[in-house]
Amino acid sequence: MISALDLRHLPKHLTFGNRNIHFQQGAEMAFELPDLPYAHDALAAKGMSAETLEFHHDLHHKAYVDNGNKLIAGTEWDGKSLEEIITGTYDANAVAQNGIFNNISQLWNHNQFWEMMGPGDNAMPGELEKALVECFGSVDEFKSQFSAAGAGQFGSGWAWLVKNADGSLAVTKTENGVNPLCFGQTALLGCDVWEHSYYIDFRNKRPVYLSNFLDNLVNWENVASRM
């Protein structure tokens, strides 16, 4: 019996006599929905309910995985990494990004998002605190700018703490599924401000959601590890 892993190493076509056999490496084999790094109810005491994670991870994130796999199947992007597809399909001049970019970028964004949160005490490492103070003047000022970016994003999008190519830090916001990879930046922290991320727990109070995210949910060790 040939496993899915074995199929990845087969050529797309084999010829036996006059029979041409095509191995359809289906979209379901390209990318998979990662498990959450914690239980669905692990963040409930910190303001993100199990219901939110069930909808957000199990349904919304899964839809990006499924749709992305379908869209790249049989294209030049089949077999490429998420990062290669994102940077290769992003169009800075487009009024709206294409379906491949939107789904693959959102797949990547959510992969990062779950890792950037955690159920522990989430104390901020000293080196990260020092870097934030050097860049923003204080941790509180960083949080203020980050919250303002997320609250000020009109419609769906993300708020980010990024590291630029020169090593400097900055707070940015992006629309829809656009992320820092599109601009040659490293994503240190990202917060999803699509309504499905907060409406179950916070209704229309996006600023409260952002404040809770920064004060209670962020896994600062993970953020520091990305620097």
What domains, with CATH codes, occur in the chain?
126-225 (3.55.40.20)
Is residue 2 pLDDT above 80, yes or no? no
Query: Does 6 appear as a known binding residue?
Result: no
Task: Return the structure tokens found at 19.
Answer: 């029979």
Q: What is the CA radius of gyration of the chain?
A: 20
Quote the longest CA-to-CA distance of the chain: 72
Query: Does 9 appear as a known binding residue?
Result: no
Any idea what DSSP says for residue 181? G
Report how far residue 173's alpha carbon sits from residue 151's, in angstroms, rounded to the nearest whole number.
Answer: 10
Is residue 217 pLDDT above 70, yes or no? yes
Question: Where residue 22 falls among pLDDT bands split at 50, 70, 90?
Answer: very low
Report how far residue 145's alpha carbon sits from residue 170's, in angstroms, rounded to the nearest whole number.
Answer: 9
The answer to whether the CB of 144 falls within 8 A of the CB of 136 is no
- The pTM (predicted TM-score) of the whole model is 0.87
Of 15-24, 109-118, 169-178, least confident by mean pLDDT is 15-24
Query: Does 192 appear as a known binding residue?
Result: yes
Nearest Cα to 125, choosing from 5, 26, 222? 222
Strand pairing partners for 175? 157
Amino acid 29: pLDDT: 55
Amino acid 30: pLDDT: 86
Question: Where residue 13 falls among pLDDT bands split at 50, 70, 90?
Answer: very low
What burial class does residue 195 get, using C-beta atoms within 10 Å of its C-beta: 0-12 exposed, 13-18 middle, 19+ buried?
middle
Query: Does 66 appear as a known binding residue?
Result: no
Report how far residue 145's alpha carbon sits from residue 136's, in angstroms, rounded to the nearest whole number.
Answer: 9
Q: Which residues contact 48 (CB under 8 A, 6 or more apart)?
A: 117, 201, 217
Is residue 18 pLDDT above 60, yes or no? no
Amino acid 99: pLDDT: 98
Amino acid 7: pLDDT: 37
Strand pairing partners for 159? 173, 191
Stretch 117-127: mean pLDDT: 97
Stretch 44-65: mean pLDDT: 99
